[in-house]
Structure 1
Amino acid sequence: MFKNVIARRPGTSITEGITSAPELGKPDHQLALRQHQAYCQALESCGVQVTVLPPLEEYPDSCFVEDTAVLTTRCAVITNPGAPSRRGEVDHMVDVIRSFYPADRVEFIRDPGTLEGGDVMMVGDTFYVGLSARTNREGIEQFARILGRNGFKVRAVPLSQVLHLKTGVNYLEGGNLLVSGEFVDHPEFASFNRIVVPPEEAYGANCIWVNGTVIVPQGYPTVEAQVRDLGYRVILVDTSEFRKIDGGLSCLSLRF
C-alpha cells in the first residue's frame, strides 16, 4: 500500500519538453495544469498524501518526477537521467526525498551510469529495469548493487521500440500485467496474467495501481474495459497534454 505521492506542477516551459511525436503539437499549459490537478485529486481519492512541488521553469520535463528517483520501502535511489537536459532535475529532488527518508537510506546513481525511473517497474521484492536509450547497463548494475544491499532483486529487460519500460508494461498487483507491443510475448513476463493492450491503444498501457484502484488514461476504452473486468476500481484521467511530450500517468508521480 502507498502512503505518499510526490508530484510537480508543470511550468509554462512544458511547451518545450522532449518529444518523439511533434505531430501531436505543443502542450497547452493551462490545460496541462487542469489535467495535473485532476490527476492529483485522483491520487488523493486513493488514500495517499500528495505533496505537490512548484514548477521548475528551467526544466521543461520536470513534471515527470518519476524519472528522478526510485522510492522503495527500504531505501530511496536518486537517479541519473539519460537525457542530458534533465540531469539538473535531480538536484531539486534530493532535499524533498530526504524529508521522507533517513540520510543513510538515500543512495545515488553516478556517472557513467544512467537510470530513469520510467524504466523501473516494482513487482513485490523484484524490480524489472528497462535497458533503454535512457537507462544504461552501468546504471542498472549500480541500481542492482544498491537494491541488493536492501534485500531486493533486479532483473534487466532490454527494450528497443519504446522510450521506457513502463511505456509498454505495467504491473497492477495480484499477478496482473498490462502488456503492449514488444512485451506481449516477452519471456521475462511469461508467468504473469498478461492483459494484452491492442496496438491502437498502446498509450493506454501506462496505467497505475494505487491502493486497489487503477488510474487509467482517458480515451482508451479497451484498456478501461480490460482493467474493470479484473475487478479493480477505475478512475479515468485525461493526460492528453502530457502525451505530447512523451509522458503518461506513471511519469507524473513518485508513489511510495
Structure 2
Amino acid sequence: MFKNAIVRTPGQSVIDGIDDYADLGTPDYTKALAEHQAYVKALESLGVKVTVLDALEAYPDSCFVEDPAVVVTGKFAVITNPAKQSRNGEREAIKSAIQANYLAEQIFEITAPATLEGGDVMQVEDTFYIGLSARTNQAGIDQFTAIAKQFDMAVVAVPVKQVLHLKTGVTYMGNNQMLVSGEYIDHPAFAAFKQLKVPAGEDYAVNCIQNGDKVLMPAGFPGVKALLTGAGLSVVEAEMSEFEKIDGGLTCLSLRF
C-alpha cells in the first residue's frame, strides 16, 4: 500500500497538451480543473496524504507528474528523461518534491541519449516491468536496470507496440492479479499472473490505481468495474474525460509512495 501522493494542478495551458493517440478534441480547462480536484479527493478516500504542487503554465502536460519521475517506497527515486522536448523542463520542476521525500543518495537521473518516462514503469514487488515504447528507449531501460540492481530489484523489458506507455495497456492490481487490455491479453510477459481481461471498448479503463483492497478507476466503464469488484476490490470512480483527450490516465496524474 502507499500512503503518500504528489500531484500537480493543471495549468490553463493544459488545453495544449500532447495528443498523439486520443484524437478526442481539446480539453475544457474548467472541467479539467474540477476533475483534478475530484481526483485528489478520490486519492484521499483511499487513505492517502496528497501533496498538491502549483501549476506550471510553461509545460502543458506537467499535471502528468508520473512521467518525469519514478518513486520507489523506501528505496530510491529516479528523475527520468522524457522523450518529448516540450516536457523536458518538467525534470527540474519535479526535483524539489522528490528531494523533500528522498535523501540525496537515493535520487538518480536518466541521462541522454537515454529516454524514459514513468508511464512505462510498472512495479510489481521487487520487479519492474518497463515498456520499450515511443517514449522509453533501450538505453533508458538499461540505465534504470543499473539503478534498480543496486537495490536488488530486477527489470523486465516489455515491447509497447499499440499504446502510448506500458501502463496504458496493463496495470497491477495486487494479489498476483494483472489488469490487461489489447496487446497484453495473454501476453507471455504476464503469463505468471491471473489476468483480468478488459472487455473490448473499455481499454482506457485498464489504467487504474490499486491500494490495498481498494482501486481507483475511470468512471463510465461498467465492464471493468464488474471485473474489479469480482476480483474482490472495492471500487472508487473518477471522471477523466478531459485528461483522456491528451493521452492521460489515472496513474499519470500522481506519484505514489
Structure-2-length-normalised TM-score? 0.98
Q: CA RMSD in A?
A: 0.9
Q: Is the 8 A contact 1:79 1:108 kept in 2?
A: yes
Q: Which runs of 5+ in 2 are unaligned?
A: none
More helix by share: 1
Note the C-alpha offset of 1:22: 6.3
Note the C-alpha offset of 1:21: 4.6
Aligned to 1:213: 214
Is it true that 1:9 corresponds to 2:9 in the alignment? yes
Cα shift readout 1:46-72 (whole Å, capped 9, x = no counterpart): 111100001100000000000011100
State the distance in 2 between where 1:21 and 1:82 align. Answer: 16
Note the C-alpha offset of 1:6: 0.3
**Following superposition of structure 1 onto structure 2, how do residues 182-201 of structure 1 map, counting pairs within 5 Å?**
182-201=183-202
Note the C-alpha offset of 1:20: 2.5
Note the C-alpha offset of 1:149: 0.4
Aligned to 1:55: 55
Q: Is the 8 A contact 1:68 1:89 kept in 2?
A: yes
* Paired residue type of 1:47: G
State the distance in 2 between where 1:158 and 1:22 align. Answer: 20
State the distance in 2 between where 1:65 and 1:172 align. Answer: 21
Percent identity of equivalent pairs = 55
Comparing 123-132 and 69-78, the one that deviates more: 69-78
* Paired residue type of 2:41: Q
Q: Is the 8 A contact 1:127 1:154 kept in 2?
A: yes
State the distance in 1 between where 2:23 and 2:176 align. Answer: 36
Q: Is the 8 A contact 1:242 1:248 kept in 2?
A: yes
**Following superposition of structure 1 onto structure 2, how do residues 37-76 of structure 1 map, counting pairs within 5 Å?**
37-73=37-73, 74-76=75-77
* Paired residue type of 2:71: L
**Following superposition of structure 1 onto structure 2, how do residues 1-256 of structure 1 map, counting pairs within 5 Å?**
1-21=1-21, 23-73=23-73, 74-256=75-257
State the distance in 2 between where 1:22 and 1:45 align. Answer: 29
> Which of structure 1's runs of 4+ aligned residues deviate more than 3 A?
none
Q: Is the 8 A contact 1:213 1:233 kept in 2?
A: yes
Q: Which runs of 5+ in 1 are unaligned?
A: none
State the distance in 2 between where 1:113 and 1:68 align. Answer: 13
Q: Is the 8 A contact 1:7 1:52 kept in 2?
A: yes
- Paired residue secondary structure (2:201): helix
State the distance in 1 between where 2:186 and 2:234 align. Answer: 27
State the distance in 1 between where 2:69 and 2:145 align. Answer: 14
